[in-house]
Amino acid sequence: MKRDFLTLWDLSTKEIEYLIERALQLKSGKDVNKCPLLGKSIGLLFEKPSTRTRISFEVGIYQLGGQAIYLTSKDLQMGRGESIADTAKVLSRYLSAMIIRTYKHSTLEEFAIHFSHPVINGLSDSHHPCQALADLMTIYESKGRLKGVNLTYIGDGNNVANSLVEASAKTGINLSLACPEGFEPSHYILKRAKDFISERGEGKISLLRDPSEAATMADVLYTDVWVSMGQEENTEEKKSKLKGYQLNSDLLKYAKKDVIVLHCLPAHRGEEITDEVIDGENSLVLQQAENRLHTEKALLEFLLK
């Protein structure tokens, strides 16, 4: 039976733990001669431009022995009105999996219904689960655990924040979110995560307004851009409301001394994060970016085994 990866809910806690362990093995060079994707072609359908998502997947597919085919909607008849369903059914005859980076999450869901093989969410306006897997791996590398780690997210409650909510619920991380009113993560996602935590009995999620309160005793401080791609309307008004939510050296003082700083990139330096923090000794941002490659290789291997 085919498996899709559209959100973190598509994986069990044990499967997430397995993927992190496998990604660590792949990063160490173990099984470098195995080619589980040999003879397989993987499509990358991108409606949004990308640096890390595109390159990490293309390199990962190559290293696993497969062929990556990069596509945009303009390259396909979808750009001339062919339905998502018809496109997905045809591409099922050629490709072994599809990675989609799109605007509407419903595009992914509809494509997955009609595509016969795994569909992976390379980013949508609602979720960024591949980024969350790399985040979890980076936290585990630094802290040696996930359960009980205090993670603080500062800023806009966007797709990255939504996936961090889901990732935290699945792994027992204590997540504090500091977002201004009106810029919280999805209320539906928050409720589902809190219900899951209540049943599981591990971890907690707190929504706060004060960044310094959220950052107190944090093991991990995380932020993202204030204005996401494709959501540029009312940019200046949004930035003014987020002005007090910058990850800077003053905020770093509230966290633990060995706190790590994460940012999914690209960063708008001087807005959501300062140079001294993103380039500082607490920053694992480049390690986090590298881990996209290793977690995505583990994910592809898992879904296509």
- Which member of 22, 224, 246, 288 is catalytic? 224
Span of 55-64, 69-78, 247-256 with lowest mean pLDDT: 69-78
| Alpha carbons within 13 A on the beta-carbon side of 256 | 13
pLDDT greater than 70 at residue 79 = no
pLDDT of 198 above 80: yes
Which pLDDT belongs to residue 80? 76
Both tokens of 71, joined, read 């596509």
Answer yes or no: 224 catalytic: yes
Radius of gyration of the chain from Cα atoms? Answer: 19
Contacts of 195 (CB under 8 A, 6+ apart): none
The model scores a pTM over 0.75: yes
Domains of the chain plus CATH, in order, are 8-127+292-303 (3.40.50.1370), 131-289 (3.40.50.1370)
Average pLDDT over residues 186-209: 97
Catalytic residue among 128, 179, 288, 294: 128
Residue 249 has pLDDT above 80, yes or no: yes
Q: What average pLDDT does the structure give for the chain?
A: 96
Residue 292 annotated in active site: yes
- C-alpha closest to that of 303 among 93, 48, 62, 1: 1
Any catalytic annotation for residue 288? no
The β-bridge partners of 71 are 45
Q: Span 100-125, mean pLDDT?
A: 97
Q: Got the DSSP string for the chain?
A: ----BSSGGGS-HHHHHHHHHHHHHHHHTTTTT--TTTT-EEEEEESS--SHHHHHHHHHHHHTT-EEEEE-GGGSGGGGT--HHHHHHHHTTT-SEEEEE-S-HHHHHHHHHH-SS-EEEEE-SS--HHHHHHHHHHHHHHHS-STT-EEEEES---HHHHHHHHHHHHHT-EEEEE--TT-PSPHHHHHHHHHHHHHHT--EEEEES-HHHHHTT-SEEEE--SS-TT--TTHHHHHHHHTT--B-HHHHTTS-TT-EEEE-S---BTTTB-HHHHTSTTB-HHHHHHHHHHHHHHHHHHHT-
pLDDT in tens, 221-241: 999 999 887 676 778 989 999
The pLDDT value given to residue 78: 78
* 21 pLDDT above the threshold of 70: yes
**Over the stretch 49-66, which tens digit does the pLDDT of each residue have?**
899 999 999 999 999 999
Whether 44 shows a pLDDT value over 90: the answer reads yes
Catalytic residue among 4, 131, 219, 263: 131
Check whether 267 has a pLDDT greater than 80: yes
- Tell me which long-range contacts 211-215 makes (C-beta under 8 A, separation of at least 24): 211/154, 211/178, 211/244, 211/245, 211/251, 212/251, 212/254, 213/178, 214/152, 214/153, 214/154, 214/176, 214/177, 214/178, 215/152, 215/154, 215/176, 215/178, 215/251, 215/252, 215/254, 215/255
Calpha distance 114→167 (Å, rounded): 27
Kindly indicate the confidence band of residue 110, based on its pLDDT and cuts at 50, 70 and 90: very high
Active-site residue 128, yes or no? yes
Report, as an integer, the average pLDDT of 127-137.
98
Distance CA(53)–CA(57), nearest Å, equals 6
pLDDT above 90 coverage of the chain, percent? 90
Q: What percent of the chain has pLDDT over 70?
A: 98
Catalytic residue among 52, 101, 127, 263: 101
Confidence (pLDDT) at 42: 98
Catalytic residue among 117, 135, 156, 264: 264
Is-catalytic flag, 101?
yes
pLDDT value of position 229: 72
Question: pLDDT band at 34, cuts 50/70/90?
Answer: confident
Catalytic residue among 22, 52, 105, 292: 292
The question of whether 264 is a catalytic residue gets the answer yes
pLDDT greater than 90 at residue 32: no
Report yes or no: 169 and 139 within 8 Å, Cβ to Cβ.
no
